Amino acid sequence: MTNRQKKPLELYVHIPFCASKCLYCDFLSFRALRSVQEEYIMQLIREIRAQGACCREYQVTTVFIGGGTPSVIDPLLIRDLMQSLFENFHIAGDAEITIEVNPGTLLQRKLPVYRALGINRVSIGLQSANNRELQYLGRIHTFEEFLKSFQYARMSGFSNINIDLMSSIPGQTMDSWRNTLKKVTMLKPEHISAYSLIVEEGTPFFEMYGEGANACGQSPSLPDEDTENRLYHLTRSFLAEQGYGRYEISNYSRPGWECRHNIGYWTQIPYLGLGLGAASYIKGCRFANERDMDAYLSLDFSEAFRDNALSCLRGAVHHLTREEKMEEFMFLGLRMIRGVSELEFVSMFGIKLEHVYGAVMKQLIDNGLLQKKGVWISLTEWGMDVSNLVLREFLLD
């Protein structure tokens, strides 16, 4: 099978370790001894060998090493991981390969190692340029440490850098958020992800700010709903003025620097999750890996037991129905500013979009939440503001 005949595939690699759990974080992440980190990477490499043997018909177009905080582990472990990925998967020569890093864990010596391994994109978790706001979030770094990390990345040859930012966090004001946006855009990163804080159950923030909770003591209040809306609109207008095009609800980039990996998620390119708790969407199925570390480490990925280990790793596999695939086509694709294509819908499902969603689309267009330009259907600016409510309309009974 030639490279052109191979089907595209994205890889997500989960590194669950972090130096300290942020107060708002509900991701599968935790602190661990170096010995545990090493044992995990060795097992992850065994999984990579097993998974790679089942993916010969695919060519990997993007790799995303996330967490947790991948930069918390020794860079030599990242080296072993990357070598295994290249040995067991066919990775395209122009593949986008991203690693997530946090300033508090990013020593200068790590970045040149990443670059030499073929990693060509760095995503730096900043969240805020205000040190007090960083403390409220439970971050382990200062803005000054972030600046050093950004400089190290540039000096190491990274020409594709994303910065993660967060609005509507405790104590944040319009002025402090504008200052964060100003300081970050002055650095001219290629990409900015700007998310609004979501208070998730099971986190310290939920105890402080969740339904029925009362922030007390030294904890500042969250911005009210009106301020949250104004912060959201400031993000869009300020970044546009600085040359950052919005291509997805929460993502902005300079022209040509959109995140290919994330676009793949929203346009339903198959992806395979590797490591503890990693999610996958491949061959019309969704599944997630084992989340218990001891159970994950006990799996035998040797060739003789490979199929059984992969079955145990994945647990329940959900085969999407045709209707579920249509739903995902709509509420994932509509996150993109360009929206969804009527032609692509027909190509994928053999039926016109209007035959499935005609009444819903008419109502949303009449209410100013959806717009149609040629073969493209997309959310209006107002539709973006209330996207969760709009996207819910595309669920099929």
Q: Is the pLDDT score of 55 beyond 90?
A: yes
CATH for 322-392, options being 1.20.1070, 1.10.10, 1.10.287, 1.10.3470? 1.10.10
CATH 3.20.20.70 region(s) of the chain?
A: 7-266
- The predicted model gives 47-67 an average pLDDT of 97
- The predicted model gives 253-278 an average pLDDT of 97
Report d(CA 317, CA 327) in Å as an integer.
18
Confidence band for 322, pLDDT divided at 50, 70 and 90: very high
Position 107 scores a pLDDT of: 72
- The predicted model gives 157-178 an average pLDDT of 96
Position 14 scores a pLDDT of: 98
Query: Pairing mode, if any, of strands 121-127 and 161-167?
Result: parallel
Residue 36, CA distances (Å) to 30, 31, 41, 69, 82 in order: 11, 10, 9, 15, 19
Position 218 scores a pLDDT of: 61
Confidence band for 358, pLDDT divided at 50, 70 and 90: very high
Q: What is the pTM of this model?
A: 0.95
Confidence band for 319, pLDDT divided at 50, 70 and 90: very high
Position 160 scores a pLDDT of: 98
Position 31 scores a pLDDT of: 92
Residue 22 in 3-state DSSP? coil
Position 217 scores a pLDDT of: 52
CATH 1.10.10 region(s) of the chain?
A: 322-392
| Fold of the domain built from segment(s) 7-266 | TIM Barrel (3.20.20)
- The predicted model gives 277-294 an average pLDDT of 96
- The predicted model gives 357-368 an average pLDDT of 96
Report d(CA 44, CA 29) in Å as an integer.
16
**Nearest-CA neighbor of 248 among 238, 261, 231?**
261
Q: At what angle do helices 342-349 and 322-333 cross, to 10 degrees?
A: 160
